[in-house]
């Protein structure tokens, strides 16, 4: 499936929806409710998204879905609310922070399974600054968005840190490891 890039106008609509959903959460305690008929058809397509919030260039919340289950506009409103109020790593966003938040949207491509014969083979296939990865081994699972490449520069470090995020040792390896790659369209 070929995914079209969102128009700049539709990207701005999504950023506005994310901001309004956080404001609604502050006032009413739930995400913004929308009627999809009020938005362009492109925003009604099912797409997986992540919403990342930053304050003073520091992570303030990040929530998303790896698989498309909702129309794009609804997924953004749900994930913006969740990033602001349900990320277990942070206290809920307060009204005094609203104007300091930077909102970053990641629209994910469908993930594709990677085929490799060793850890070295996997590392050789990872595309820096392009790939987001999902790693699974037994009950352990973790993902890094492509934006993580801003702080982790090499494929081997990217994989080591992802293993740790999934609850595994950074030098862990098993033939049972499954890795999927995806790309994102960033809107901010």
Q: Mean per-residue pLDDT for 156-166? A: 97
Global confidence as pTM: 0.87
126-129 LR contacts (CB < 8 Å, sep 24+): 126/155, 126/158, 126/159, 126/181, 127/181, 128/153, 128/154, 128/155, 128/158
Q: How confident is the model at residue 155 (pLDDT cuts 50, 70, 90)?
A: very high
The mean pLDDT of 113-139, rounded to a whole number, is 97
Q: What percent of the chain has pLDDT over 70?
A: 98
> Residue 24's pLDDT band (boundaries 50, 70, 90)?
very high
* Helix (H/G/I), strand (E/B), else coil: 169: coil
Domains of the chain: 8-108 (3.30.700.20), 112-183 (3.30.1490.150)
Task: For residue range 75-123, list pLDDT tens digits in order.
Answer: 999 999 999 999 999 999 999 999 999 999 999 999 999 999 999 999 9
Helices (H), the chain: 8-28, 72-85, 119-125, 155-165
Q: Is the pLDDT of residue 1 over 80?
A: no
Does residue 74 surpass a pLDDT of 80? yes
| C-beta separation of 187 from 105 below 8 A | yes
User: What pLDDT is stored for residue 185 in this prediction?
Assistant: 93
Q: How far apart are CA 170 and CA 164, in angstroms?
A: 6
The model's confidence at residue 4, banded by pLDDT at 50, 70 and 90, is low
Q: Is the model's pLDDT at 6 over the cut of 90?
A: no
């Amino acid at each position: 499936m070929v995914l079209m890039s969102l128009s700049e106008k539709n990207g701005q609509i999504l950023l506005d929806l994310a901001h309004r959903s956080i404001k609604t959460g502050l006032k009413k305690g739930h995400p913004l409710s929308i009627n999809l008929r009020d938005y362009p058809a492109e925003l009604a397509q099912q797409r997986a998204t992540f919403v990342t919030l930053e304050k003073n260039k520091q992570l303030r919340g990040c929530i998303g879905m790896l698989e498309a289950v909702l129309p794009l506009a609804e997924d953004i409103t749900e994930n913006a609310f969740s990033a602001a109020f349900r990320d277990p790593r942070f206290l809920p966003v307060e009204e005094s922070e609203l104007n300091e938040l930077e909102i970053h949207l990641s629209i994910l491509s469908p993930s594709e399974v990677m085929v490799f014969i060793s850890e070295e083979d996997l590392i050789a296939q990872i595309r820096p600054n392009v790939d987001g990865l999902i790693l699974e081994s037994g009950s352990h699972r973790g993902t890094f968005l492509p934006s993580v490449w801003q702080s982790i520069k090499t494929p081997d470090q990217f994989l080591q840190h992802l293993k740790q995020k999934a609850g595994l040792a950074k030098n862990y390896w098993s033939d049972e490891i499954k890795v999927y790659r995806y790309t994102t369209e960033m809107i901010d």
